[in-house]
Amino acid sequence: MLRRGFIIVLLAAVAGCSRAPAPRQYEIRGQILGVDTERQEVLVAHEDIKGFMPAMTMPYKVSDPAVLAGKQPGDLVTGTLVVEEVKAYLTALTTTGRAPLKAPAALPAITDSDLLREGATVPDHALVDQSGSPRPLSSLRGHRVALTFMYTRCPLPDFCPLMDKHFAAVQQQIRQTPDLADVRLVSVTLDPEFDTAAVLAAHASSLGADPQRWHFLTGPRQEVLDFAKRFGVTADATDAAAGLVHNLRTAVIDPEGRLVAVHSGNMWTPADLVADLKQAPAPAH
């Protein structure tokens, strides 16, 4: 009986250790710039969120479609932002008034000639890795490559931090899978003025990134933006109050440097990416 009681206590302790951190809640105040009921998402230009993030313009998911009922661009709102380990969402929005919308800064345009198509060779740009060494994409020929975009100051757990978390899981998978030993991971910052090689090195270390497998790239701002546009990624930081506004795209590149597949947004999983890498032709050697 004593032994059984000990086992129950031990299991309870293990369960407590593995429990996810409790969700955090923050008050948000700002103006609605856009409402997308299909995606259950609202774009808010908000003030500083004390203890979490500076004033910024960001899209937020809502916990229930009813949260968006009656909401329109121009509404001044207060609300509750819930931040979990890998996602953030609004559970309430209360309209407190209305104000004219400021003309939004246009994101850099992407033309059809900018966008890479599947089978196209990914061009080189003047980028460096976290060690400060030049790291053109052609230096990874002979390897299958998974590539994504992020920046180290990104505050929302379901944006850049989720890309980091997914890539860390993929790194673990390729370590354990001999058939994926050639795979290399590449994370390109969209905030190169802040994300220097030294900043990226510290960020990589915090993620447990193996520098032989996982490269973090930065470079002159225009080089970074031009490279990102080839994958359909735009980033704009011209409005200091809005912060860095960007979208998410993650790509798989074959050993010959050709684009194989692209995932938009943050809905893909590490298993999806590993499956794409396995489907890409392995290097001849």
Burial code (b: 16+ CB inside 10 Å, e: under 16) for 179-206 equals ebebbbbbbbbbbbeebebebbbebbee
- 32's enclosing H/E stretch is strand 24-36
Q: Are both 158 and 75 inside the same structural domain?
A: no
Residues 275 and 170 in one domain: yes
In terms of domains, do 199 and 143 share one?
Answer: yes
Domain with residue 185: its CATH number is 3.40.30.10
User: Higher-confidence residue: 6 or 47?
Assistant: 47
The pLDDT of residue 103 is 62
pLDDT of amino acid 232? 86
State whether 151 and 267 are in the same domain: yes
Asked whether the whole model's pTM tops 0.95, one would answer no
User: pLDDT for 91-128, tens place per residue?
Assistant: 999 999 999 987 655 555 666 778 898 999 999 999 99
Q: Is 264 helix (H, G, I), strand (E, B) or coil?
A: strand
Instruction: Write the CB contacts of 270 (distance below 8 Å, at least 6 apart in sequence).
Output: 166, 169, 170, 173
H helices within 38-175, ranges in order?
160-175
d(CA 161, CA 21): 16
**CATH number (domain holding residue 81):** 2.40.50.320
pLDDT band at 158 (very low <50, low <70, confident <90, very high): confident
The whole-number pLDDT of residue 194 equals 94
Are the CB atoms for 232 and 161 separated by under 8 Å? no
Average pLDDT over all residues of the chain: 86
Q: Is residue 5 part of a domain?
A: no
Q: Are residues 176 and 233 in the same domain?
A: yes
Question: Are residue 148 and residue 271 in the same domain, yes or no?
Answer: yes
Listed residue (115, 118, 132) closest to 226, CA to CA: 115
- Within a domain: 127: no
Q: Are residues 38 and 147 in the same domain?
A: no
Tell me the CA distances in angstroms from 217 to 60, 90, 153, 172, one per residue in order. Answer: 28, 33, 15, 20
Token digits of residue 111? 């033309």
What is the residue range of 190's domain? 137-279
User: How high is the pLDDT of residue 3?
Assistant: 47
CA distance 153 to 184: 24
Answer yes or no: do 89 and 150 share one domain.
no
Domain-embedded: residue 232: yes
Final residue before a domain boundary, out of 98, 127, 151: 98
Tell me if 130 is assigned to some domain: no
Query: What average pLDDT does this structure show over 181-189?
Result: 97
- pLDDT tier, 239 (very low <50, low <70, confident <90, very high otherwise): low
Question: For the stretch 88-115, what's the b/e string if a residue is b when 16 or more beta carbons lie within 10 angstroms of its beta carbon?
Answer: bbbebbeeeeeeeeeeeeeeeeeeeeee
pLDDT band at 15 (very low <50, low <70, confident <90, very high): very low
- Please check whether residue 6 lies inside any domain of the structure: no
State whether 30 and 157 are in the same domain: no
What confidence score (pLDDT) does residue 238 get?
55
Verify that 144 and 237 share a domain, yes or no.
yes
- 280 contacts: CB under 8 Å, gap ≥ 6: 144, 252, 253, 254, 255, 260, 261
Residues 141 and 264 in one domain: yes
- Give pLDDT, residue 110: 67
Q: What is the rounded CA–CA span in Å between residue 116 and residue 97?
A: 44
Residues of 17-52 as b/e, b for ≥16 C-beta within 10 angstroms?
A: eeeeeeeeeeebebbbbebeeeebbbbbbbeebeeb
Is residue 252 located within the same domain as residue 147?
yes
Structural domain contains residue 44: yes
Structural domain count of the chain: 2
In the DSSP assignment, the letter for residue 180 is: G
Which of 81, 98, 115 is the C-terminal boundary of a domain? 98
Residue 111 within any structural domain of the chain:
no
Single-letter amino acid, residue 127 = L
pLDDT grade, residue 14 (50/70/90)? very low
- The verdict on residue 3 lying in a domain is no
